[in-house]
Amino acid sequence: MQRLTPVELSVWLSDPHRTKPVMLDVREPWEFQLGHIDGSTHIPMASIPARLSDLDPDLETVVICHHGARSYQIASFLEQRGFGKLYNLETGLDGWARTVDPAMATY
């Protein structure tokens, strides 16, 4: 698993020559409703084991939560199950809102 800052993810998403990653948001539904990165796939943390087959281990996947701790746990879980192209969004959506999208709600 690699670490990725919000600014690095923003640059990646804006690069027309680079394939967009799967952005796996593992926060709770109420958190996702408050704000999320457009194009994110929402699967709450507790649902990941049951929905593992919904994810492709061969795709670059950025795991996202509020501050980066839950996403780190899920990225580690996925890594143990053969996912090899994983990124943990450091500082999570809170960092994204503070450095990339100040219009996004924080909590």
pTM of the model: 0.96
Residues belonging to the active site: 65
CATH number of the domain that 27 lies in?
A: 3.40.250.10
Residue 104: inside a domain, yes or no?
no
Q: Print the domain residue range for 41.
A: 2-99
Q: Give a yes or no: residue 60 inside a domain.
A: yes
Could you tell me if residue 49 is inside a domain?
Answer: yes
DSSP secondary structure, 10-70, as one string: HHHHH-TTSPPPEEEE-S-HHHHHH---TT-EE--GGGTGGGGGGS-TTS-EEEE-SSSHH
Other beta carbons within 10 angstroms of residue 75's beta carbon come to: 26
Task: Provide the number of structural domains found in the chain.
Answer: 1
- Per-residue pLDDT tens listing for the chain (107 residues): 999 999 999 999 999 999 999 999 999 999 999 999 999 999 999 999 999 999 999 999 999 999 999 999 999 999 999 999 999 999 999 999 999 999 999 99
Task: Give the pLDDT of residue 82.
Answer: 97
The predicted structure's pLDDT at residue 29? 98
